[in-house]
């Protein structure tokens, strides 16, 4: 399912979570490397560049600055939707011009560098035909269909997938997500990423998620981003396509009523 380019009037962000580089960013800024200043941004002159985490890995930044003219440039598929943010921000000035109009969209838009990862065509084509077993297995086992949605969190290096049928209510979902993403929120505190095991950090985590730091949002069938908790649970699991744990500061423009609800509810 690939969505057409959509105008998000409340959030100019891409829906992709930058890959685990917020930690690097913090550390490198503290080391005196001001990556933000050297950051290559998407956008035509005069257009508003979306505020997002700096995703340039320091090594790759030096790659670009040392004159690697064609890192990715000739390997990006010009015709497909190229998700530069997913690529970790690797792009040369030339390719930035090429792809500036394309915004990373639905999860169906996958970044494809020619010939990477290095898998032979036969294997690529074969595996493309067979669907991932996991979903089939789950179907067979439970007897009823599972509802898998991807959950991303701003600042986390990777996404998780959850089965919405495993939860009966918003509070269960919220708890489940907190557990799943606890390791990343601790990282956000500034220390290195460790799973939240001790009670002290749990407490910190709870405060984090139930406080003003993060809100749960989801994308519904129409492609709109909503705050989790606005609709009855049953309706939610039917219409929810993916979930994003977003920083409150970015959730500007979503129904204020919803924000209040979220805060109280959790």
Length of the chain: 266
Interface residue with other proteins, options 112, 165, 239, 248 (CB under 8 A):
112
CA distance 266 to 244: 16
Q: What three-state secondary structure class fits 112?
A: coil
241 within 8 A of 206, measured Cβ to Cβ: no
Provide, rounded to whole angstroms, the least separation between the CB of residue 82 and other proteins: 13
Which of residues 157 and 223 has its CB atom nearest to other proteins in the complex? 157
- DSSP class per residue in 124-139: HHHHHHSPPHHHHHHH
How many CA within 13 A on the CB side of residue 40?
22
Interface residue with other proteins, options 193, 204, 206, 231 (CB under 8 A):
193
Does 134 engage in binding with other proteins (CB under 8 A)? yes
Residues 22-61 vs other proteins: string with x where CB under 8 A?
A: -xx--x-----------------------------x-xx-
Interface residue with other proteins, options 3, 39, 100, 150 (CB under 8 A):
150
Q: Which residues contact 73 (CB under 8 A, 6 or more apart)?
A: 91, 92, 94, 95, 98
Q: Which residues bind other proteins (CB under 8 A)?
A: 19-20, 23-24, 27, 57, 59-60, 62-63, 66-75, 86-88, 90, 107, 110-124, 126-127, 130, 132-134, 137, 150, 157-161, 192-193
């Amino acid at each position: 399912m690939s969505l057409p380019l959509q105008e998000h009037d409340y959030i100019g962000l891409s829906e992709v979570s930058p890959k685990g580089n917020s930690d690097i960013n913090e550390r490198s800024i503290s080391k005196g490397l001001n990556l933000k200043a050297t950051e290559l941004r998407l956008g035509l002159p005069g257009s508003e560049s979306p505020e997002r985490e700096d995703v340039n890995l320091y090594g790759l930044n030096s790659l670009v600055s040392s004159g690697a003219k064609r890192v990715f440039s000739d390997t990006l598929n010009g015709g497909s939707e190229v998700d530069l943010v997913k690529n970790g921000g690797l792009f040369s000035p030339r390719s930035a011009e090429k792809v500036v109009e394309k915004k990373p969209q639905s999860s169906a838009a996958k970044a494809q560098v020619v010939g990477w990862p290095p898998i032979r065509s036969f294997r690529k084509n074969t595996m493309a035909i067979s669907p991932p077993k996991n979903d089939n297995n789950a179907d067979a086992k439970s007897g009823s269909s599972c509802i898998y949605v991807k959950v991303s969190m701003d600042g986390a290096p990777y996404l998780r997938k959850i089965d919405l049928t495993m939860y009966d209510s918003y509070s269960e979902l919220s708890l489940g997500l907190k557990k799943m993403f606890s390791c990343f929120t601790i990282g956000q505190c500034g220390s290195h990423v460790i799973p939240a095991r001790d009670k002290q950090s749990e407490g910190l985590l709870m405060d984090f998620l139930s406080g003003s730091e993060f809100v749960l949002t989801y994308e519904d069938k129409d492609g709109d981003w909503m705050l989790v908790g606005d609709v009855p649970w049953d309706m939610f699991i039917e219409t929810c396509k993916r979930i994003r744990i977003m920083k409150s500061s970015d959730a500007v423009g979503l129904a204020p009523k919803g924000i209040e609800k979220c805060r109280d509810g959790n």
